[in-house]
Amino acid sequence: MPRKIVIDTDPGIDDAMAIFYALRSPELEVLGLTTVYGNAHTETCTINALRLLEIAGRPDIPVAEGAHRPLVSRFHGPADFVHGKDGQGDTFLPPAAAKPVGVHAAQFLIDAVMSDPGNVTIVALGPLTNVAMALLLRPDLPAYTREIVLMGGNAYVPGNASPAAEANIFNDPAAADIVFGAACPVTMAGLDVTSRIRMTADDLDRFATFPNAESQHMARLLPCYRSFYYGQLGVHEILVHDSTTISWLLHPELFTVEARPVRVETEGISRGKTWPANKSSRPDSDWEGRPAVNILVAANGPEAVRVELEAFAR
Ligand code: RIB
Ligand code: CA
């Protein structure tokens, strides 16, 4: 039986890669995509989610549009300098024929989990606003959720949106603090691992050689992403952010996990910083009583890249 997942996403070049990776993995069944602002405005992310499903030949999978801004603060604006003005590497594809369903993403997430209580995993690839809204609307939702696995945060490494914070958490720290407090298994695939899982120029060149529509689309998107990372790293490599959630679901043996409660700084210059508890915390600290989060702290990067490319190649 494939594992049921629903993907909350802000597509986004690396979101596209993660969505295709999931769709091309028979071990997973994608129940739907829910959209959020982040790499682009929410309307654009919804159009992209529909496009990606059409490219993958899965227009039957529903898309539900979600939040247009964080819970309690303003949206700082799209990451078009990374993902292009259209969120898809400035490829400006025509819109898909399908339309989003008329249900808010938060309600869609609730309905997806409750359609098979205990067996549905939420995979979150963008700011956590929709997931937090679902938890606020249904405080008992964690009791029925198999796992929440999210790309976001930085436990022991610097941020990428600021020295303190990773972009998804920076975009809605209040929502992230709610999600890290959920009483179900929560797995944080943050920069501790995603900044160390890298596709090389040779890896990236392979997408164009795979004869399927998803890989061909990635080959069109990747030059934009690659040029951003060349500016950052000075080498033709990319960091594999969002796909790491899927690698965790398929190959948990590739990761080292540390189980600790996580709190999020919601204000000030460290806004969006994810703080794991440490052993010397006072008993009455702000971490007290919070559930342990599975923080991915190390990974077998070359193997994670190999298994992902294998999914695109088949
Ligand atoms: O920090 C990386 C994350 O920010 C990824 O999810 C990327 O798609 C952007 O949303
Ligand atoms: Ca993303």
Mutating to test ligand 1, I would choose from 151, 162, 245 the residue with most ligand atoms within 8 A of its C-beta, which is 151
What is the per-residue pLDDT for 56?
98
Alpha-carbon distances of 123 from 126, 228, 233, rounded to whole Å: 10, 25, 28
The answer, yes or no, to whether any atom of ligand 1 lies below 6 A from the CB of 38, is: yes
pLDDT at 281: 77
**What distance, in Å, lies between the first and last C-alpha atoms of the chain?**
20
Q: What is the pLDDT along the chain (314 residues), one digit of tens a residue?
A: 999 999 999 999 999 999 999 999 999 999 999 999 999 999 999 999 999 999 999 999 999 999 999 999 899 999 999 899 999 999 998 889 999 999 999 999 999 999 999 999 999 999 999 999 999 999 999 999 999 999 999 999 999 999 999 999 999 999 999 999 999 999 999 999 999 999 999 999 999 999 999 999 999 999 999 999 999 999 999 999 999 999 999 999 999 999 999 999 999 999 999 999 998 877 788 999 999 999 999 999 999 999 999 999 99
Burial class of residue 231, CB neighbours in 10 A (0-12, 13-18, 19+):
exposed
Domain 3-313 of CATH type 3.90.245.10: yes
Of 8, 13, 15, 128, best ligand 1 pocket probe by most atoms within 8 Å of the beta carbon: 15
**What is the predicted pLDDT for the residue at 170?**
98
Catalytic site residue from 14, 83, 241, 242: 241
Domain regions of the chain by residue span = 3-313
Burial class (CB in 10 A: 0-12, 13-18, 19+), 293: buried
CA of 286 to the centre of ligand 1 (A): 27
- CB 47 less than 6 A from any atom of ligand 1: no
- Report how far apart, in Å, the C-alpha atoms of 115 and of each of 104, 119, 212 are: 16, 9, 32
Q: How far is the CA of 284 from the centre of ligand 1 (A)?
A: 33
Please report the pLDDT score of residue 93 as a whole number. 87
Residues within 5 Å of ion ligand 2 by Cβ? 10, 12, 15, 125-126, 242
**Confidence at residue 67, expressed as pLDDT on a 0 to 100 scale:** 98
